[in-house]
Amino acid sequence: MKKLVIVGAALAFVASACNNGTHSEEAKTTEKQEAAVASGASYSIDTAASKVEWTGTKPVGAHHGTLKISEGSFSAEAGNLTAGAFTIDINSLNNLDMKAGDGKEKLEGHLKSPDFFDAAKYPTAKFVITSVSPLSDSTGTHQINGNLTLKDSTKNVSFPAKISIADNAVKATADFSIDRTQWGLFYGNDKSLGDKFIRPEVDIKLDISAVQK
């Protein structure tokens, strides 16, 4: 009986943790910085093989989906990433946890509306690397700093990433969260809304492949 109580408490803790929002470490956010100077070989991002995943949460659940990268490139020299940038197509926003006709279109339309990304006015977002430094822990191989532009705001974010360069190709993955209010996306960010409160933290997962030009 005692073991059952312990297991139950553990499950309750996990359920509570899952309902508390994002699981990724929040990226450090600062003011815009100068872009890194490209050196070495150039690698073109394979837009068909690359994606951005997003997860937003509220007290009663979560929504997740993808965004497409429309263009971008990396530069690397002597096995090290030196610079890079990519553009995200906001109109490609896709929700994965709802079915068509069951609220999917309504949610996607709302996220693209002026309440959030205002895709009609700002159809793209952009990320530009400002610095890359090696890491020696389990969070990733490199620390990436870059300017992230959402709507009409640009902030510099810092997060760990796993980067590999081999066989004329670059592979980069990362998992972090950002506070959307730093870019002026305030909709639903009021705890007095109760179950309708939308947390400011948004999980971002990057999975990017690039090939040498």
Domain ranges of the chain: 24-212
Q: How confident is the model at residue 201 (pLDDT cuts 50, 70, 90)?
A: very high
> What integer pLDDT is reported at residue 122 of this predicted model?
98
Q: Is domain 24-212 given the CATH code 3.40.50.620 in the classification?
A: no
Q: What is the residue-averaged pLDDT of the chain?
A: 90
Q: Residue 53: phi, psi to the nearest 5? A: -105, 145
> What integer pLDDT is reported at residue 167 of this predicted model?
84
d(CA 37, CA 206): 22
Q: Residue 108: phi, psi to the nearest 5? A: -60, -40
pTM, 2 dp: 0.88
Q: What is the pLDDT of residues 61-89, one digit of tens each?
A: 999 999 999 999 999 999 999 999 999 99
Is the pLDDT at 4 greater than 50, yes or no? no
User: Which amino acid type is present at position 122?
Assistant: Y
d(CA 114, CA 117): 6
Are residues 63 and 107 in contact, defined by beta-carbon separation less than 8 angstroms? yes
Rg of the chain over Cα atoms, rounded to whole angstroms, equals 19
Q: What is the pLDDT of residues 23-54, one digit of tens each?
A: 688 999 999 999 999 999 999 999 999 999 99
